[in-house]
């Protein structure tokens, strides 16, 4: 039997939830950490560029995210909702 309830938040751990699943769970954003700090990107915005977004996992999406300043992948990325935000970072 699989127990998913004990899964703890760990950014190093592969996140195999799809974006549509995350949205259903109440996470409208992906949060990326890079040289600029934390940047929140709405899935809605990404969907305009990635029509297959809903079927992608968070890891697949993270692999496609690129910092517009240093050009690297974000060091960490995770699903985010309003309760997590200490203050909205605008780029």
Binding stretches for Zn ion (CB under 5 A): 34-35, 67, 69-70
Question: DSSP of the chain, one letter per residue?
Answer: ----TTPPP-TTS----BHHHHHHTT--EEEEEETTEEEEEEHHHHHHH-TTGGGSBHHHHHHH---TTT-SPPSEEEEE-GGG-SS----
Whose Cβ is closer to Zn ion: residue 44's or residue 69's?
A: 69
Whose Cβ is closer to Zn ion: residue 22's or residue 78's?
A: 78
Q: How far is the CB of 69 from Zn ion (least distance, A)?
A: 5
Q: How far is the CB of 74 from Zn ion (least distance, A)?
A: 7
Whose Cβ is closer to Zn ion: residue 44's or residue 66's?
A: 66
């Amino acid at each position: 039997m699989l127990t998913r309830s004990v899964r703890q938040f760990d950014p190093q751990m592969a996140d195999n939830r799809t974006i549509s699943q995350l949205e259903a769970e109440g996470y409208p954003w992906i949060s990326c950490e890079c040289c600029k700090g934390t940047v929140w990107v709405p899935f809605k915005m990404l969907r305009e560029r990635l029509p297959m977004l809903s079927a992608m996992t968070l890891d697949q999406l993270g692999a496609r995210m690129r910092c517009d300043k240093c050009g690297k992948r974000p060091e960490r990325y995770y699903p985010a909702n309003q309760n997590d935000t200490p203050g909205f970072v605008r780029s």
